[in-house]
Amino acid sequence: MRIALTANLHSLRAMNALAPMLTSHLTPTIIKVAVAVVGGYLLGSVPFGVIATRLGGAGDIRKVGSGNIGATNVLRTGRRDLAALTLIGDGAKGAAAVLLAAWLLSPTTIPVFAGGAAFLGHLFPVWLKFRGGKGVATFFGVLLAVSWPVGVTALAIWLLLAALFRYSSLAALAAAAWSPLIFFVLHQATTAKMWLAIFMAVLIFIRHHQNIRRLLNNIEPRIGDKTLATP
């Protein structure tokens, strides 16, 4: 009994000695992660589709077509320039969140948190009562910043399928589904990056549930269509 008590006392003393060291190491990391997540979310929640269409005189994009704030729906206004601006803005904010976190905070895992938060910000922007887009452009922006070979490959898949079938949703779903495997095949995979790819892919599929249903029913509008088919 005495031996056990002595061992427990030594263990407690060792833990007390290690506690300040662990706290001093973990606290800055937690703060950096928190800054990356909050900053990434706020950057990702900037609704470039809404801003571009309003400033460009095309009205409120949420009242056009599918009501989505992304570039594909902006294209239904007939304004290719505004759709291009939306696409660039939505992609750039995802990339910027990752690159700024790598530059200002840490070049290791923290940028992955910033990228995931930016992606969430686009899907659930605080400025639009958490009703955002489907995240495809931001998804590509995050991938390009986290690992440009993976981003380029995923983008190539989107371009190929979009050109062949003219379904933006189908191309996006395929690129998202393949992204975790691309990380692995191109030897770019880390645990954090793989989970980021899976996280974004799952949310893209969830956000595209109506598109999936329309694809199965063969009523999904193609790229460039100005009207949305009725299910």
DSSP 17-56: HHHHHHHHHHHHHHHHHHHHHHHHHHHHT--HHHHHHHHT
What's the number of CA atoms in the CB half-sphere (13 Å) around residue 97? 37
**Taking a C-beta distance cutoff of 8 angstroms, is the pair 158, 169 a contact?**
no
Determine the pLDDT at residue 20: 52
Determine the pLDDT at residue 231: 34
Stretch 142-147: mean pLDDT, rounded? 97
User: Where does the pLDDT of residue 189 fall: very low under 50, low under 70, confident under 90, or very high at 90 and above?
Assistant: confident
Stretch 164-191: mean pLDDT, rounded? 94
**Taking a C-beta distance cutoff of 8 angstroms, is the pair 61, 74 a contact?**
yes
User: Where does the pLDDT of residue 10 fall: very low under 50, low under 70, confident under 90, or very high at 90 and above?
Assistant: very low
**Taking a C-beta distance cutoff of 8 angstroms, is the pair 188, 150 a contact?**
yes
Stretch 112-141: mean pLDDT, rounded? 96
Element (H, E) at 114: helix 110-123
SS (H, E, C) 118-180: HHHHHHCCHHHCCCCCCCHHHHHHHHHHHCHHHHHHHHHHHHHHHHHHCCHHHHHHHHHHHHH
pLDDT digits (tens, 9 = 90+) for 17-43: 434 543 455 578 888 899 999 999 999
